[in-house]
């Protein structure tokens, strides 16, 4: 759990023994197989994302099996393999929910922020907010799809990339390396811009046309771009790389301050800057369906549950290529 938010050097995570949780009405109890490590977990541990409750267990890219059901939780049979993602609940009644934008619900709740998450052997989740997963693939290959994949997919939709368009991807971690594969499968030309030489090599292996330094100009104007790195300084850089009518989608939950923008260089000619907020359950279903039709290469770095603090520290220091994943059993 997050003992007290602070830099990773202060060891904000504390390993504790808690009782196995009991599922409330309409909830299921899940035995965790694996949980991917998200940059949002790092933001929570270090205090960039303010805690909503004290001593919360982080983790929201969970693969496991239903082992018990609370009253009224009859949608999922015991033994079903499921995934738990970031979005945990909504009011279902507000204007946002009514128009299909449940990710913007003012009363939305989140796994590993409003309730204990998947850095644990067990967790509970509302049955209506879990995804049924196939039995075959290894858990560590499925776990990153449940946030990195879903958020990247939503960011790609928000970026309004035209068919066969030119996409720029800034930052190349867990989410970006999956999103690039989706874009390539859809016929896009992809340019990756990131400070990590190892990530640039992976981008080229996956099919990116170019992979350059984060602040470099891509070799051609972009129809759309996605900013995955939580670095506000890159916003004007990416906007300036857009062609006329292009869109930049900012995919992170946290971003450092954005410098002043110049209207003519960065926004004129109908360039658009937009954010990405959480995900809807429809996003999750669409991404998982896409991955079933177009298997994605999921690059992972495995850790044991005891190594959760090291996984976050490695993520903070950009020592992880692809996705870090906590495995509950070897």
We report the CATH number of the domain holding residue 104 as 3.90.180.10
Same domain membership, residue 307 and residue 207:
no
Spatial contact of 298 and 145, defined as CB atoms under 8 Å apart: yes
Which of 259, 275, 291 delimits the end of a domain?
275
- Is 72 part of a structural domain of the chain? yes
pLDDT in tens, 278-304: 999 999 999 999 999 999 999 999 999
pLDDT band for position 24 (cuts 50, 70, 90): very high
Tell me the mean pLDDT in the region 55-83.
97
Domains identified in the chain, total number: 2
Spatial contact of 122 and 29, defined as CB atoms under 8 Å apart: yes
- Is 242 part of a structural domain of the chain? yes
Residue 51: CB atoms within 10 A of its CB come to 16
pLDDT at 329 over 80: no
pLDDT in tens, 168-180: 999 999 999 999 9
Assigned token pair, 162: 């035209």
Q: What is the mean pLDDT of the chain?
A: 96
Same domain membership, residue 206 and residue 255:
yes
pLDDT (0 to 100) of residue 321: 85
Same domain membership, residue 12 and residue 59:
yes
Same domain membership, residue 207 and residue 59:
no
Same domain membership, residue 32 and residue 125:
yes
pLDDT (0 to 100) of residue 219: 98
- Is 21 part of a structural domain of the chain? yes
- Is 3 part of a structural domain of the chain? no
pLDDT at 330 over 70: no
Same domain membership, residue 261 and residue 167:
yes
pLDDT (0 to 100) of residue 222: 98
pLDDT in tens, 213-257: 999 999 999 999 999 999 999 999 999 999 999 999 999 889 999
Same domain membership, residue 139 and residue 27:
yes
pLDDT (0 to 100) of residue 252: 86
Same domain membership, residue 160 and residue 218:
yes
pLDDT in tens, 304-319: 999 999 999 999 998 9
pLDDT (0 to 100) of residue 51: 87
pLDDT in tens, 87-97: 999 999 999 99
**To which H or E segment does residue 290 belong?**
helix 281-293
- Is 60 part of a structural domain of the chain? yes
- Is 2 part of a structural domain of the chain? no
Range of the domain at 214: 150-275
Same domain membership, residue 117 and residue 59:
yes
DSSP letter for each residue of 235-282: HHHHHHHEEEEEEEEE--S--PPPPPPPIIIIITTT-EEEE--S--HH
Same domain membership, residue 103 and residue 17:
yes
Same domain membership, residue 293 and residue 243:
no
Q: What are phi and psi of 183, to 5 degrees?
A: -60, -40
We report the CATH number of the domain holding residue 184 as 3.40.50.720
- Dist CA 126 CA 26 (whole Å): 6
Return the bridge partners of 169, or none. 192, 226
- Is 1 part of a structural domain of the chain? no
Same domain membership, residue 58 and residue 12:
yes
Tell me the residue length of the chain. Answer: 330
């Amino acid at each position: 759990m997050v003992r007290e938010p602070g830099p990773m050097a202060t060891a904000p995570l504390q390993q504790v023994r808690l009782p196995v949780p009991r599922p409330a009405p309409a909830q299921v109890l899940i035995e965790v197989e694996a949980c991917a490590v998200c940059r949002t977990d790092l933001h929570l541990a270090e205090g960039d994302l303010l805690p909503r409750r004290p001593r919360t267990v982080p983790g929201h890219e969970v693969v496991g099996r239903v082992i018990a059901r609370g009253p009224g939780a009859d949608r999922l049979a015991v033994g079903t393999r499921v995934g738990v993602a970031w979005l945990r609940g909504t009011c279902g009644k507000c204007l946002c929910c009514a128009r299909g934008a449940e990710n913007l619900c003012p009363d939305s709740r989140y796994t590993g922020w409003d309730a204990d998450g998947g850095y644990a052997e067990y967790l509970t989740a509302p049955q209506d907010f879990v995804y049924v997963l196939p039995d075959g693939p290894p858990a560590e290959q499925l776990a990153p799809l449940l946030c990195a994949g879903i958020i990247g997919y939503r960011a790609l939709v928000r970026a309004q990339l035209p068919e066969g368009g030119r996409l720029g991807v800034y930052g190349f971690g867990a989410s970006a390396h999956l999103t690039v594969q989706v874009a390539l499968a859809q016929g896009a030309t992809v340019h990756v811009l990131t400070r990590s030489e190892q990530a640039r090599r992976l981008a080229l292996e996956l099919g990116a046309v170019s992979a350059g330094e984060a602040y470099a100009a891509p070799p051609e104007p972009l129809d759309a771009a996605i900013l995955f790195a939580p670095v506000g300084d890159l916003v004007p850089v990416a906007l300036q790389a857009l062609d006329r009518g292009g869109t930049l989608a900012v995919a992170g939950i946290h971003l450092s301050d954005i410098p002043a923008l110049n209207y003519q260089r960065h926004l004129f000619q109908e360039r658009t800057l937009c954010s990405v907020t959480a995900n809807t359950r429809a996003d999750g279903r669409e991404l998982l369906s896409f991955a079933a039709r177009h298997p994605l290469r999921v690059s992972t770095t495995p850790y044991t549950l005891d190594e959760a603090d090291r996984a976050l520290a490695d993520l903070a220091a950009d020592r992880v290529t692809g996705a870090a994943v906590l495995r509950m059993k070897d």
